[in-house]
A and B are shown apart, each in its own frame.
Chain A
Amino acid sequence: DTGVSQNPRHKITKRGQNVTFRCDPISEHNRLYWYRQTLGQGPEFLTYFQNEAQLEKSRLLSDRFSAERPKGSFSTLEIQRTEQGDSAMYLCASSFPSQGRGTDTQYFGPGTRLTVL
């Protein structure tokens, strides 16, 4: 295990369909983050887990979005009834807590690029 992995790497779907992405963090990393990155922008925070608990959700995470991390290992991000505005790169990151808030280094995965037609 050399890094954060995400699957699939690319997803093309039609508007209105549901999609699910998976993120496998670095083993022993108990913190996991989801971000969304649109073209020409920096990543925007969506949600954060510590172990299996979802501790933060951005206002960007509408009711159509749901994220889980059932056993504190891998995580899934589901988007229901996709819209064209959901087209973006979805990034996952993980970290191992060191001394407190802000000191973790977040390790990013390669992302899942979603295209909604």
Chain B
Amino acid sequence: AQTVTQSQPEMSVQEAETVTLSCTYDTSENNYYLFWYKQPPSRQMILVIRQEAYKQQNATENRFSVNFQKAAKSFSLKISDSQLGDTAMYFCANEVDSGYALNFGKGTSLLVTP
């Protein structure tokens, strides 16, 4: 069975600091996509960043970047210059092998403090 594991249920970071959220995954595919989604309190889930497995270069979106280690099946998210609005649940996800659906981890609750 596919699994996505987020080993940090909760994390806290001060405003303007950098934080890294961990994720490991399992897949039988060779080419696949990985995603980080953000779910703010009482708001809907939005895509933060995605990575294509065949690309060597780590994806970057403004203050968000990933460290993708394909051999280790590791996909961590780094948030630089943390802002109060980054407070949210963060979910790591990969594709279900059989199709287009996503397989999510249990999430990491990130609190950004002043």
Contact B47 A105 (CB under 8 A): yes
Interface string of A73-117 (1 = CB under 8 A from B): 000000000000000000101010000011111111111000000
Given contacts A101-B99, A106-B102, contact A42 B107 (CB under 8 A): yes
Contact B93 A111 (CB under 8 A): no
Q: B residues within 8 A CB of A35?
A: 102
Tell me if A's interface is mostly helix, strand, loop or mixed: loop
Contact A109 B44 (CB under 8 A): yes
A102 to B32, CA, bound (A): 7
- The number of residues on chain B lying at the interface, defined by a beta carbon within 8 Å of a beta carbon of chain A, is 25
Interface string of A33-45 (1 = CB under 8 A from B): 1010000111111
- The number of residues on chain A lying at the interface, defined by a beta carbon within 8 Å of a beta carbon of chain B, is 29
Contact B47 A102 (CB under 8 A): no
Contact B104 A102 (CB under 8 A): no
Contact B43 A110 (CB under 8 A): yes
Contact A102 B100 (CB under 8 A): yes
Q: With contacts A35-B102, A111-B44 known, what are 4 further pairs, Cβ within 8 A?
A: A42-B93, A43-B102, A44-B104, A102-B100
- B residues in contact (CB < 8 Å) with A: 4, 32-33, 37, 43-47, 50, 52, 91, 93, 95-96, 98-107
- A residues in contact (CB < 8 Å) with B: 3-4, 31, 33, 35, 40-45, 48, 55-56, 58, 91, 93, 95, 101-111
A-B contact pairs, 19 of them (CB 8 A): A3-B44, A4-B44, A33-B101, A40-B106, A41-B107, A42-B106, A43-B104, A48-B100, A56-B99, A56-B100, A56-B101, A101-B100, A102-B100, A105-B47, A105-B50, A106-B102, A107-B46, A108-B37, A108-B45
